[in-house]
Structure formats: C-alpha cells, structure tokens
Chain A
Amino acid sequence: MIPRARTAFIAGFLLPATVLYTVFVVIPVVQAFAFSLYRWRGISANRTFVGLENFHHLFADPLVWVALRHNLLLFLGTGVAILALSLALAHAVGSENRAARFLRSVYLFPQVISLVVVAILWMFILNPSFGILNAALKAVGLERWAIAWLGEKTTALASIGVAHVWHALGFYIMLFAAALRTIPPDVMEAATLDGAMGLTRLRYVTLPMLWAVLRIALVYMAIGAMNIFSLVFLMTQGGPDRATEVMLTYLYEQAFKHSEFGYATALAVLNFVLVMALSGAILALFRHNPQEGKA
C-alpha cells in the first residue's frame, strides 16, 4: 500500500508532463480529427462544416496514393538496408580493435547532425556538376553512370532513401549494440561449441535473443519512413514531376500553398491512422518469436 503523501508526491511530478502532453499533443490530435470535417482555408476563423467531403476527395485523389506508395517503398527499402547495415555494424562496434574503437566514436555523428545539414550534404554529394559521387564514377570509368541522381524519376526516391539511411543508421546501431551486450556470453559460447557459426548462429541464436529490440526497431523505422519530410522538402521538393512526393510534403503543399487546411488535416488524420495501423501490424506480426520454445 502506497501512503497518500507518496501518491500526491508522484502525482505532483506527473502533473506537468501530463498537462504539457495534453495541451500540446492530445488536444491538437483531437482537434485535427474535428478540423478534417471542415472546409477551411486556414487563414481566418471561418470554417464550413462539410462532413466527410475531405475524405471523399482524399480517396479519389491519385496523388495521395502516389505519395503513400513512395512512403511504403521508402519503408521497405530503407528498412531492409538499415536492418542489414545496423546489425552488421552493431556486431563490428562490439569488438575490441582500433577500427571498432574508431567506429564507436563516429557512428552517432550523422544522427546528431540537423536534417537540413544532412540534406545539403547529400545534395552536394549527388550534385550532377561537381558532386563527389559522379566524380568518383568518372574516375573509375563509369562515365555513363554519372547522372543527375535527384533529377531522374527513376533514381530520385532511392537517392533520398540513401540519405535517410545514412542519417538514421547510428540510432539503430546503438539500439542493436546495446541489445547485443545483453546476450549472455555463455550462450554464445555454447552455440559456438555446438558448431553454430556465422549466419547459422545469427539466425538461431542472435536474432531470437534480439527479438524484442528488433520489433521496436521495425516500429521506429515505419514511423520514420511514414513521417519523412525535411529530406524530401529540401532535396527535391517532391519532384521531379512528383517522383518523390510523400504524404507529409503533399500535406504541406495542400495546407500552405493551396490554403486547403481542412483537406490537409484530413491527410494528417489518414497518415496518423496509417502509422498506427502499420505499427500495430508490425507488433502483431512479430509478437511471437519463431525460435521460442524450440530449443
């Protein structure tokens, strides 16, 4: 039984966070649901209630589906890349040699750089005129591959995906490196003695023991890919010809350029529902560890 004074004490500490969270998160979210039912230019207090009209438009708007497809492609593409790279690098930073020590001191750098700087950095790297990527390609004789990466419909989205992976990787390395440390060394040793090495050990020992972290990492990746905005906004403006349009850049366009705040809010509601659904689906799919109880 907790004494009353202690309850009050705990409540006292919870209160500010609860108030702030309610004022700046809960209320805006609830408001967003309400605003999505209005036609509103977002420039005066005049709003016209239109029921589900915004949602009808939304489902008939081909650009919403174009943008959503790009978000999902980014999730799949960057998800696989991040998973593979971060697991490998998390292993690497766990060793004790000079390279690992160096890696440990730098792997979080991209994560702490502002996204605006990340975008500008990658625009320089990919620059068709003086970027180092094309210079490198030309140096090794791949002249034909030196293209305007952000200007071609076929490569623009992937290029943004690469920048996103580069930026996000450090966080997942940290996550997995920490999780790897929690695996008891004797388990690993036992597996090795039983002859499980390399990929076999990864599949039957390491991954199952990382299961809970893996699940959370996937949810983070989904949220990251669904809410991507700054990189696209700065690197391509959603172009060329909508080839990199994503949900949030389209939302921004509707709200601030077209003064369709009601419609933009409906898009926000859709994005909210989709992120929730995607996270829920991931959590459900990965609820049971396939290796659990098999041993």
Chain B
Amino acid sequence: MKHVKYTLLVLVATLTAIVVVSCGKQSSTASKELEVACFKGGYDIDFFEQAAREYEKAHPGVKIKVWGNPRVWEQLRPRFVAGNPPDLTYPGWGMDHWALVYEGQVIPLDEYLDSPPYGKTEGRWRDTFEPSLLELCQYQGKTYMLPYFFSMLGWWYNKDMFEQNGWKPPRTWSELLDLCEKIKAKGIAPITYQGIYPAYAVSGFLIPWVISAGGIEAFDDAQNLVPGAWKSPAFLKAAQMMDELRRRGYFQKGANAMDHTGAQMEFLSGRAAMIPCGTWLHSEMRNVMPKGFRMGFFLPPVLDDGKGDPTAVGIGIEPWMVPTKGKNRELAIDFYKYMTSLEKAKQFVEAKGTLMSIRGSDQANFPEHLKEPVEVFRNAKTVWSVEYRQWYPKLGKAVEDATAALLAGDVTPEQFVERLEQAAEAARQDKNLPKHTYKRGQAR
C-alpha cells in the first residue's frame, strides 16, 4: 500500500515538474534562421510560404519559418513585451502599428530603402514602391513600415441586376438619388452596409463625401487635427447626405445590425443592389458567392457641384515591419526585398487578385473583378487613406460610434459633427498621444 502511495507521489511530482519546466523553455535561433509571423486573412499565407521555399533554394543554409493565423496580433503582443519577437512580421489590421513605432519595437528602414533592390547592385529599393503608399508608413520623416498589397475602397454593384434593368452605376449625387428611387420601386434595397462595423460606412460614405464637398484639404485638415476641421461645412454636408439617404429609405432596413459577412451576403443574394467595400470583397466572399455572380466597382458618387477631385480614391495598406529585437535583421530585409521584387509582385497579383504596392505590377493579368478598380486607380489624381484611425484609435472609435448613431437616425447631422469635433478635441488635448502630420507630397 505504501509503495502505491509513493509511486503516485513521484508521478504527481514529475508531472508538476514537466509543466513548470516546459513553461520556461526558450526556443533558440541559429544565425541563418528566419521567423516570419503573418496575418492569415482572405489572402492566406501560402504565397509567403512558397516565397520562403524559393528563397531557401536560392540561398543554401537559410531556413525560413513562416507562420500565421487570423488573430496573430494577439500572439505577437506578448512576444514583443518579452523581447522575443519574430524577425519579420505582417501583424495584420488588429495590431496597433504606431504603438510599436513609439515604443521603438520596429526599426526605421530608410537605410535599407536607399540600398539596391533584390539581386541588383544599383538603384534604390525605395523607388520600386508606389510613393503615395510609402508616405503612409512614415513618422517624423522616417519610414517604419513597408506596404505589400493594397486595397481600394469604393462601391460595388450587382452587374447582372443593373444590366437586366438598364441601370448604370451612378457617378453623381443626383444620379444616385434617381437610381435609388428606381431600385426601391423594384422592391430591392438600393444600398446595404456592414452596420456592426461602422468603419465601412465611414470610408464608404462619410469621407468620400467630405472630400467631394470640401476638397481633399477638408479631409487632410481633419486627419491633422486642425481645430474645427471635424465640424467643417464639408463634414456637415457629408453627414446631411447620409441622413438624406436614410430618411428616403435607400439604405437596407436592418443594415445597422449586420456584420460584414451578413451585409455582403445581402448584396450577393440580390436583396441589395450596392454596397461599399474594399477590393478584398471578392476573395472574402468567394466561397459563398452564387455561381456566375458578377460585380462591378465604382467610386462613391460625388456631388454634382463638388469642390473635390472626382477621381479621388481611398486606399488602405496592411504593412510589414522589422522588429528591433529580431535576431536576423539583414536576412529579414533581404527576404522582404525578394518578396517585393517585380516578379513576385506580379505573381501575387495573379495568385491573389489584389493590387500591389510595387510599381509596374499593374501590368499583370488582373482577374475580371479587378479590372475596373485598376482603371480607377490609374486615373486617380488624388489618393487618400484613413490614417487617423491608426494614429488616434480613440478618435477612430468615436467617429464610428457617431456614424452608427447617424445612420440609425439617433442624432442629427449637426449633433453628429459636434460629436466628431469633441472627439478630435480630446485627441488634441491628450498629452500622451504622439501626434502625426500628413503632408501631401508630389506623390503621383
């Protein structure tokens, strides 16, 4: 009997020891090994894994471990805190990128950007990127992040539905109102949106109409927290336009309660005719898309007498970065140079059906649903991006809350802009919040 007790005791003690020891185990990294942590979203990470295998082949002795998942940012936070980050990372939209910069957790890349691109002995790597996208990665004159693919923001319409009814995508506000009336008469909801995530309505309705009403300066000033900019006449006008669509019943009933997939399904099922969304829409919904569904892209309709550039287009990037405490900086940079070479960029465009930040990659074979966006981007004289949401996350959230309230009819356009300005004032007053200034370069 006693034996049994002691055996049990030893067993229990051993188990405890195993738990304690395995918790403290550290992974060791040799000098030719690279760890790349990626966000695994609609474009998956298989392309990066494939690139790693190719790079390993070309550079014997190098081992690259690419891993990722849809919530990778949550796993990366403790790694950064512990001082044990990966060598190269694409942490995804859920990561507070600028906090990494403020904390010195990622390195400025300008020195490398001024060096030659992959496999070349001259030229600057910097010049291979779309300059307007690189601009978004800078803080106090230094470049801390690098773009890879980018998305364009706009509206999508149901091509078959439009053709059958003889409708055309509206270019102006008055065309939009006319069309919505016709669609509504058919018993179809003219416009739906991803109400649970009001960011879609912000970049799909609010900002394009601010730019149309007040010019690009109206939006740049707002992002730069110029006093009064968030309640300028341009913002009020944009809010009134959203309110008017709501009052006329042109938004799908119940859209406020829909998440992104829910609203996008409404669009795909033909219950709604138009939806604001980025160019990722097709790949996000391809598994549930009705066979043969065709969708077309167009810019949000502009005011008939708008001050803003009607070709202005919203874009978004999800950047890559090199952690300061990564163990193999040079290798990480060289691998990323390989991934951003023109050849790889074109391959990414064709494999994933998205636009790339590498110049010349728009000469690739685009899938059908991207041909219109590419055309729009080529014609765009102004490019804008929602940066305040990353710079000042609390302001971003406040704008989204207010937008949800406006679309529900809970606040008037006047109260709406007042709320925005108050949130901007709170950001201005927050001493602990590092401030950004966006100066529009001679980008394009």
Contacts and interface: CB of A to CB of B under 8 A. Distances in A.
A189 interface: no
B322 to A, nearest CB: 15
A15 B12 contact: yes
B254 interface: yes
A128 interface: yes
B254 A148 contact: yes
A149 interface: yes
Given A43-B77, A241-B408, A256 B94 contact: yes
A16 B12 contact: yes
B271 interface: yes
A213 interface: no
Contact of A151 (B9, B13, B80, B257): B257
Contacts of A12: 8-9, 12-13
Interface string A149-180: 11111001000000000000000000000000
Interface residues of A, number: 41
A19 B15 CA distance: 12
B104 A153 contact: no
B83 A45 contact: yes
A41 B195 contact: no
A13 B10 CA distance: 10
A9 B77 CA distance: 41
Interface in A119-169: 123, 126-129, 147-153, 156
B37 to A, nearest CB: 14
B212 interface: no
A8 B408 CA distance: 66
A242 B408 CA distance: 13
B401 A241 contact: yes
Contacts of B256: 148, 151-152, 240
B99 interface: yes
Contacts of A237: 196-197
B16 A240 contact: no
A241 B80 contact: no
Nearest to A8: B9
B99 A259 contact: yes
Contacts of A9: 5, 9
Instruction: Describe A's contact surface by its main secondary structure.
Output: loop
Contact of A46 (B103, B253, B257, B266): B103
B81 A44 contact: yes
Interface in A1-47: 5, 8-9, 12-13, 15-16, 19-20, 23, 39, 41-46
Contacts of A46: 103
Interface string B62-92: 0000000000011001001111000000000
A258 interface: yes
Contact of B195 (A240, A253, A257): A240
Contacts of B73: 256
Interface string B244-270: 000000001111111100100010000
A19 to B, nearest CB: 6
B198 A239 contact: yes
B396 to A, nearest CB: 8
A232 to B, nearest CB: 11
A236 interface: yes
Interface centre among B23, B103, B257 (most CB of A within 10 A): B257
A20 B432 CA distance: 38
Given A43-B103, A123-B262, A239-B401, A16 B195 contact: no
B104 to A, nearest CB: 7
Interface in B395-415: 397, 401-402, 404-405, 408, 410
Contact of B397 (A39, A42, A253): A253
Contacts of A152: 256-257, 408
B401 A43 contact: no
B45 to A, nearest CB: 22
Contacts of A19: 16, 19-20
Nearest to B82: A45
B254 A153 contact: no
Nearest to B406: A241
A287 B195 CA distance: 47
Given A150-B257, A151-B195, A240 B96 contact: no
Interface of A: 5, 8-9, 12-13, 15-16, 19-20, 23, 39, 41-46, 123, 126-129, 147-153, 156, 236-237, 239-242, 253, 256-259
Interface of B: 2, 5, 8-9, 12-13, 15-16, 19-20, 23, 73-74, 77, 80-83, 94, 96, 99-100, 102-105, 195-198, 252-259, 262, 266, 271, 393-394, 397, 401-402, 404-405, 408, 410, 432
Given A153-B410, A240-B195, A241-B405, 13 more contacts: A5-B2, A19-B19, A23-B20, A41-B102, A46-B103, A127-B257, A128-B255, A128-B258, A240-B405, A241-B401, A256-B94, A257-B96, A258-B393
18 contacts: A5-B5, A8-B9, A12-B8, A13-B8, A15-B13, A19-B19, A20-B19, A23-B20, A23-B23, A42-B77, A42-B81, A46-B103, A129-B266, A236-B196, A237-B197, A240-B195, A256-B94, A257-B397
